[in-house]
Each structure stands twice: as C-alpha cells, then as structure tokens.
Amino acid sequence: MTRHVVRENLSLVQDEIAVAVAGLDDRQLTVLAAELQSARRVFVAGAGRSGLVLRMAAMRLMHLGLTVHVAGDATTPAICSGDLLLVASGSGTTSGVVKSAETAAGAGAHIAALTTSASSPLAVLADALVIIPAAQKTDHGSGVSRQYSGSLFEQALFLATESVFQTLWEDAGQPAEQLWLRHANLE
C-alpha cells in the first residue's frame, strides 16, 4: 500500500460522489424539505449504514427545533396522521424499513423515502420520493460504482440530507447560536 494508491482511491470516492450528487433531482429534494417543514413530528427509520445517516439527519432536524424521533428507540411514540416518516433504503426492499413505511401509511402519516429504485416497494409507498443515482449494495460490478456495497448510496444520502437541512436552516433564519442551544449537553 502506498500513499499514491490511497490518493487514487480518495479521488475515486470523491469523483463518484460528485456524479451521484449531480444526478439528484432538485425538485425531489424541495418536496422533501417541504414535507419536513410541514410535519407535526418527524420519525426516521433505516437499517445499517443508511440508518446511521438518518440518525445524523435526525440530529440536525432536532437542532432546527423540529420534534424528531428515531424508530426503535425506547422513547419513540406512536406515529399518526400529521407526522412524517423519513426512510432510506438503497434497494427500497429492506424488510424492516418497508414494514415501518407500511405501518406509517396505515396510521395516516406521510412517507418520505430516499432510494435508488423508483419501482421499489418503498418508493411506491412514498408521498415524497428522492431517487439517489447510486449502486445498490448487491449491485457488484455494475459499473455504477467501484466502491464496496452501498457506500456510494450512503455517501450521497448524507449529502442529500445535509443539503435539505441547510435549506431549511436558511429558510428559518435562525442563527447558529440558537441551534447550538439545542445541541446535546449530556455527552
């Protein structure tokens, strides 16, 4: 292993992310931002690394003053009408995530989904859909990404959620100091 190889791989990751992010549909992200802004409460649900990215998004939304819950946490209340479930799954078929979306839909909540597949079960359930142009985690050798598994999806998911947060923050006009007051102080 050489520094040269590490630099080449850093460039590979950076270039793939740039292509994926350039392929995001601004209209879809705008609809997602509007859904987040109008929701009474926001719930997030995702598995694995996608779930971790959504936990980061939940933290940022909480900093904005939104009421946010992570599905599966012991203190998460029941979802209902007026709420929004934010979900992510590269394939759009992750069973626990799809089941959460079905439950939310049955309770009258809106669903915002981020996935690679517009025809997936998760996409079909979505009121707001963001298609991330990345390989699915089992899409080995497709030419969409040379990175392992769903790495490109998760990287683009992070940037998509961060751009929506930034948009909502700018729209709210809250100074950073105000958001900071909501930052965890029991670390």
Active-site annotation, residues: 154
Maximum separation of any 2 CA atoms in the chain, in Å:
55
Three-state SS string across 19-42, please?
HHHHCCCHHHHHHHHHHHHHCCCE
Give 122's contacts (C-beta < 8 A, 6+ positions apart).
87, 89, 92, 93, 94, 97, 98, 101, 113, 115
The two tokens of residue 94 are 């992750």
Tokens 């950073």 found at: 176
